[in-house]
Amino acid sequence: MARYNVYLYDEIGNEYERKNLYLKEVAILEEKIQEGSGNAESLKETLKTLKAGKKNHPYIKKLNDYHTEEKAFKASLREKVTSYKKRVNGKYSRKVLKLQVDLLRSKEALAFYKNYVSLDYDAELKYEEARIMVDQLAEIVETMIQNENRLKEALADGKKIKDSDEAKAKQEFNDFKADQQRLYDEGCKALVEKRNKGLISKKALNNEKGELKKKMDEALTVKSYDSPKKSNKELIGNIKYQLSKGLKRDLNVMHSNISDYRRKTPVELNKKTPIHAYFTWMLPGVGQLLNKQYIKSLFFFVLSAFMYFAAIPYALGFGNYQGQGIAGLVTLAEGGRKIDRSLIFMIEGIMALFLVMFVVAIVVISFKDVLSIEKKRIKGTRQRNWFETWANVTEEGFPYMVSMPALVAVVFIVLVPITTAILLSFTNLDPDHQNKFQWIGIDNYRMIALGEGVAGGPFWQILGWTLTWTLVATTLAITIGFMLALIVNNERVYLKPLWRSVFILPWAVPAFITIMFFSIMFSQNGILTTHLNTLLHSLNLIGVDEWLVVKNDPFWSRVTLIGLQGWLGSAYVFLLSTGVLQAIPADLYEAAQIDGATAWQKLRRITLPIVLFQTAPLLVGQYTFNFNNFSIIYLFNGGGPFNPTKYGNLAGSTDLLISYIYKLTMENDYQAIGAAITIVISIGLMLFAFIGFKNSKAFKEEKL
């Protein structure tokens, strides 16, 4: 059973004595009863009597008298404020009048609450707030009045400026500018003479010229303020800045001081269980309203409107294009109209599901927010006012604010398509079920695992070639790129910029151009095919009457693709390695040379560890990229050559899983099995990338 605490606590755990003597007595009795100290029955009877006579308790009487007097004070204060506004009507600007009224309220509050500081923590806080405001507002108001008077004088002075005075000042400035330019030119000339005599370096010459130019500009800037108009304009701008930004800064300092005291002043509530939070289950925002957090309650009421007028109706099927909300995700348009499509029902059902998740998140966040604040208030911690809340939001909450739009975009741009692909893999969407399809469980995954069916049959053979391609082609590209970087980085190589430009070209030139070029060159009558056959004939590797067409031979097609990708991918690795190699300190190699290290030992002990430390995460990305390298396979030979007896009619000898999925889904309408294969390889790639990143030294040392 919940009970009152004997002491109150703030956010950091500081302990405070209760000022509410009635609650203090109740808390002490409840603590004794719970601990079992003394006669339990007698203590319970005493507690019962105490609660029954609450209205007659001396402290409660004093507290009620205080509340009555406070109401009368507030009514009297409203009359004084009204009278004051009438009395000074037109004397002050709107901003100054507001501050004057706040100062008046603070002075009156200071005098009233002074008598009740020891009675109630709320009265103590109001007294301290009034004291801080009286101390600081008086100075702020005085500064505001002075600045407004200065602004009026400056505006009046600006109108009095004569054109003749401005023209005179402008002429003086031009003369001064000519003198400064002459001095600058003479200084530069003297510096050039020193340079010609070899007294200073070229770098020193440029630095000295820069200093002369800087001094001339500073002198001209200072002189420009001799202009009456410019000086007056600058003065007006400074005063306006003080009236706006300066005032805001001073008020923020005052509110910050008040907030510091608020955090050290507990609050006493006449309740021991949070109840406001439970009103938020049906309507987020009600709990915040009951906690007197009006701005926050407005925010949650807007979210509640979104829940009840958008998210929940859509989830129930209202406002759908064809679907039936979450129900449509179950039925998939089964038994629906002829024009209804299962895919649309699925997509709208998924969107409805995510909207429901948003609704649940809003309700839970609202509930936890109110519950947390109530528990803290019962404990004694005073809730934040609007100034403190806004400061917390703009500082600690800023990352969440800027992330929310991105989260919404990720849900509907990324998560909805991914979820659709996952769910499609459990359906029978194929050429025979394009309009209406049904749930079939894990049948697609079973076909893939067992290598059955028109789509699952070639899976394992294509997977084997995909893994071979990924490992060999990527490793070849990394090896070529790293070796080229080592060679070009060697100090004995000349024209390094030229060689670097040449080796980066495969990466700079669009890949599809290079791939199409080699595809044409390796065609049946292509020049590379002709030269390759001539070479094989000269080496007696094929007969005179035989003719090798690379694109018609599975082995040579794969070898050519691996070599081509090795060349295309090497440029990126070359670029990465070159940057790292240039950053390796020469001292390391010099120290190794002194110790008698060989070139191989330097490479193995110094170069490779440093290069891999910097590039390993990116190299892991190269393997995952090549696993899904669709363009080179499709553009070079369309996945061919084709062997229906081995791969069926849907794949070729060089097809990777990604190109196989494309043919299944886009060319042959086997979307369900294609989605299943996509999920399988995605899980595999994520696992590979995770293991690769986790085992890289950069990841272990938290450099990523």
| 287: exposed, middle or buried (Cβ count in 10 Å: 0-12, 13-18, 19+) | buried
DSSP string, 449-492: HHT-HHHHTTHHHHHHHHHHHHHHHHHHHHHHHHHHHHHHHSTT
CB atoms within 10 A of CB 632: 25
544: confidence class by pLDDT, cuts 50, 70, 90 = low
Query: What's the chain's average pLDDT?
Result: 88
CA 289 – CA 279 distance, rounded (Å): 10
DSSP structural state of residue 526: -
Choice between 358 and 200, residue whose per-residue pLDDT is larger: 358
pLDDT in tens, 342-358: 999 999 999 999 999 99
- Rounded to an integer, the average pLDDT of 429-437 is 91
Between CA 651 and CA 641 the distance in angstroms is 9
pLDDT digits (tens, 9 = 90+) for 356-396: 999 999 999 999 999 999 998 889 888 887 777 777 767 66
pLDDT in tens, 567-594: 999 988 888 888 888 878 877 877 887 8
- Residue 479 has a pLDDT of 92
At residue 63, what is the residue type?
A: L
pLDDT above 90: percentage of residues in the chain: 42
pLDDT, tens only, 95-117: 899 999 999 999 999 999 999 99
Return d(Cα 626, Cα 681) in angstroms, integer.
13
What pLDDT, on the 0 to 100 scale, is given for residue 704?
44
* 539 pLDDT above the threshold of 50: yes
Asked whether the predicted pLDDT for residue 702 surpasses 80, the reply is no
DSSP per position, 312-337: HHHHTTTT-SS-BTHHHHHHTTTT--
Mean pLDDT of 626-645: 89
**How large is the average pLDDT for residues 427-436?**
91
SS3 per residue for 394-443: HHCCHHHHHHHHHHHHHHHHHHHHHHHHHHHCCECCCCCCCCCCCECCCH
Task: Answer positive or negative: Cα dihedral of 431, 432, 433, 438.
Answer: negative
Report how far residue 230's alpha carbon sits from residue 537's, in angstroms, rounded to the nearest whole number. 89
Q: How confident is the model at residue 700 (pLDDT cuts 50, 70, 90)?
A: low
Question: What is the mean predicted confidence (pLDDT) over 440-458?
Answer: 86
Predicted confidence at residue 342, as pLDDT, reads 92
For 463-494, write each residue's pLDDT tens digit. Answer: 999 999 999 999 999 999 989 888 888 777 78
DSSP state of 649: T
Please write the tens of the pLDDT for every residue from 56-88: 999 999 999 999 999 999 999 999 999 999 988
Distances in Å between the Cα of 418 and the Cα atoms of 84, 347, 436, 676 are 66, 11, 21, 12
Cβ atoms 280, 291 nearer than 8 A: no
Predicted local confidence at residue 113, as pLDDT: 94
Higher pLDDT, 328 or 583: 328
pLDDT confidence of 1, banded at 50, 70, 90?
A: low
Minimum mean pLDDT among 38-47, 122-131, 251-260, 330-339: which range? 38-47
Amino acid at 278: Y
627 neighbors 656 (Cβ within 8 angstroms): yes
Q: Tokens 């005052």 identify what position?
A: 254
**pLDDT (tens digit per residue) in 400-420:** 777 788 888 888 889 999 999
The percentage of the chain sitting over the pLDDT mark of 70, rounded to a whole number, equals 97
Q: Lowest-pLDDT range, 250-264, 471-485, 598-612?
A: 598-612
